[in-house]
Amino acid sequence: KQGVRGRSLQVRADAGASGPKSGQSTFKVAVLGAAGGIGQPLSLLIKMSPLISELRLYDIANVKGVAADLSHCNTPAQVSAYTGASELAAALKDVDLVIIPAGVPRKPGMTRDDLFNINAGIVRTLIEGVADHCPNALINIISNPVNSTVPIAAEVLKAKGVYDPKKLFGVTTLDVVRANTFVAQKKGLRLIDVNVPVIGGHAGVTILPLLSKTKPTVEFTPEEVEELTVRIQNAGTEVVEAKAGAGSATLSMAYAAARFAESCMRGLDGDSDVYECAYVQSEVTDLPFFATTVKLGKKGVEEIVAEDLEGLTEYEKKAVDALKSELKGSIEKGVTFAKKQA
Ligand code: NAD
Ligand code: LMR
């Protein structure tokens, strides 16, 4: 099951002339929130993918210029711009993959949950559009708090009668990207070789790197486990503080989201060996949503890798138990919000 797990983003820009390597398909992709701090570099990175035929950029403002700018890159994806609610339907019509980085980011002193009041409504409205105009698309949710926005999306899709749990993902790739970087630095490993699964959710202690499952196998002292775990859990806050009021991670997030989108499309394209960690509907714990490694295939989640939760260290077992109550609360908050509005 090693496959392409933990692979860095390798956009096949050189494949522009020859087309996709593994299959014949190309995909229509919509980015909602495309003019934002994440949306712009994310759109640039995925514009380089030979797996994309159409790249639709949607935002409530400023997206025309972004699309005009990107459209001059000589890579195959055709870029188009859609502004405001009246153009959401056209942006979404029949797309294969929807990526959602729309919403407000944190400022110093805030938790991700502090974004709930604004972002919950944004995600709800955008997912209603997805349900109406591209109900078969894979959905990658980046907007925080991911632990709640994914359950909101699930409820909206259920209410519209189009929920397919295999197609809804909370993007937690940035946690894996960070874990790989920090572990490689700490242990002097070649970055390209390192993969650390990260499970649970995407906020504070709900982010749980499984350092004992690092590939290649590497020994950590208890102090190193504690230090690395806490750094990975607080890495978002590290960036928020460094940006000092100007937002949260955008460039590393764009990189991570582009990697996850490329993996989703490679799965759709029939590549048989694509694994990523993601926050999905899952039965690996008693919670309805949980991030683990998943296998991506032609219909989205092909398999949830339950082995992630086997053979954990005592430290990791305790951390799983400890994260559940916060994650449960965030899931319930999302579900309650969505049901109240229905
Ligand atoms: P940003 O403010 O720079 O960009 C957000 C964009 O969303 C803006 O262009 C804005 O116009 C747009 N937007 C707002 N309401 C919209 C709507 N109703 N429809 C369409 N677009 C709308 O913020 P950012 O730095 O790009 O962050 C976006 C979100 O991503 C935040 O919620 C942030 O917390 C989250 N985030 C998640 C992760 C993760 O790992 N999942 C990592 C980083 C940031
Ligand atoms: C991150 O992990 O960088 C994002 O969730 C943004 C944030 O608020 O920390």
Closest ligand to C-alpha of residue 31 is 1
Distance 102 CA to ligand 1 centre (A): 4
Distance 106 CA to ligand 1 centre (A): 10
| pLDDT beyond 80 at 313 | yes
Q: Is the CB of 201 under 6 A from ligand 1?
A: no
Give the pLDDT band of residue 1 (cuts 50, 70, 90): very low
Degrees to nearest 5, angle at CA 92 with 177 and 264: 30
Range list of H helices, the chain = 39-47, 63-70, 88-92, 116-133, 146-159, 173-187, 222-233, 235-243, 251-268, 314-341
Q: Is the CB of 103 under 6 A from ligand 1?
A: yes
| Contacts with 217 (C-beta within 8 Å, 6 or more apart), sequence order | none
> Which residue, judged by its Cα, is nearest atom 31 of ligand 1?
105
Angle of helix 251-268 versus helix 39-47 axis, rounded to 10: 40
Active site residue 133: no
- Do 4 and 264 meet the contact criterion of CB atoms below 8 Å apart? no
The DSSP result for 3-39, as a single string, is: TTTTPPP---GGGGTT--SS-S--EEEEEETTTSTTH
Q: Which atom of ligand 1 is nearest to the CA of 256?
A: 40
Give residues (CB < 6 A) around ligand 2: 105-106, 112, 144, 174, 236, 239-240, 248-249
- Residue 138, CA distances (Å) to 101, 116, 134, 214, 265 in order: 14, 23, 9, 28, 9
Q: Is the CB of 178 under 6 A from ligand 1?
A: no
The token pair that represents 246 in the structure block: 């100007």
> Which residue, judged by its Cα, is nearest atom 16 of ligand 1?
102
C-alpha–C-alpha distance, residues 130 and 109, integer Å = 33
Catalytic residue among 124, 133, 202, 259: 202
| pLDDT beyond 80 at 94 | yes
DSSP label of 55: E
The end-to-end CA distance of the chain, in Å, is 41
> Which residue, judged by its Cα, is nearest atom 5 of ligand 1?
36
| pLDDT beyond 60 at 286 | yes
Q: At 288, give phi and psi (nearest 5°).
A: -75, -25
Q: At 32, give phi and psi (nearest 5°).
A: -105, 115
The DSSP result for 232-278, as a single string, is: HHTHHHHHHHHHTTS-S--HHHHHHHHHHHHHHHHHHTT-S-EEEEE
**What does the pLDDT look like over 101-117, one tens digit per residue?**
999 999 999 999 999 99
Strand duo 198-200 + 207-209: pairing: antiparallel
**What does the pLDDT look like over 4-41, one tens digit per residue?**
444 455 544 333 334 445 556 899 999 999 999 999 99
> What is the residue-averaged pLDDT of the chain?
94
C-alpha–C-alpha distance, residues 274 and 295, integer Å = 6
Closest ligand to C-alpha of residue 255 is 1
pLDDT the model gives residue 6: 45
Distance 10 CA to ligand 2 centre (A): 23
| pLDDT beyond 60 at 262 | yes
> Which residue, judged by its Cα, is nearest atom 2 of ligand 2?
236
Q: Is the CB of 38 under 6 A from ligand 1?
A: yes
Nearest by Cα to 12 from 256, 180, 250, 263: 263
ipTM above 0.95 for this complex: yes
Over residues 301-327, the mean pLDDT reads 98
- Do 221 and 215 meet the contact criterion of CB atoms below 8 Å apart? no
pTM comes to 0.95
Over residues 183-199, the mean pLDDT reads 97
The token pair that represents 171 in the structure block: 């993007």
C-alpha–C-alpha distance, residues 119 and 105, integer Å = 9
C-alpha–C-alpha distance, residues 157 and 166, integer Å = 12
Q: Which atom of ligand 2 is nearest to the CA of 239?
A: 3
Closest ligand to C-alpha of residue 150 is 1
pLDDT the model gives residue 14: 36
Over residues 291-295, the mean pLDDT reads 98
Closest ligand to C-alpha of residue 178 is 2
Q: Is the CB of 249 under 6 A from ligand 1?
A: yes
Ligand 1: which of 31, 56, 123, 142 to mutate, most ligand atoms within 8 Å of CB?
142
pLDDT the model gives residue 341: 76
Task: Tell the residue number behind the tokens 């937690």, with chain if given.
Answer: 172
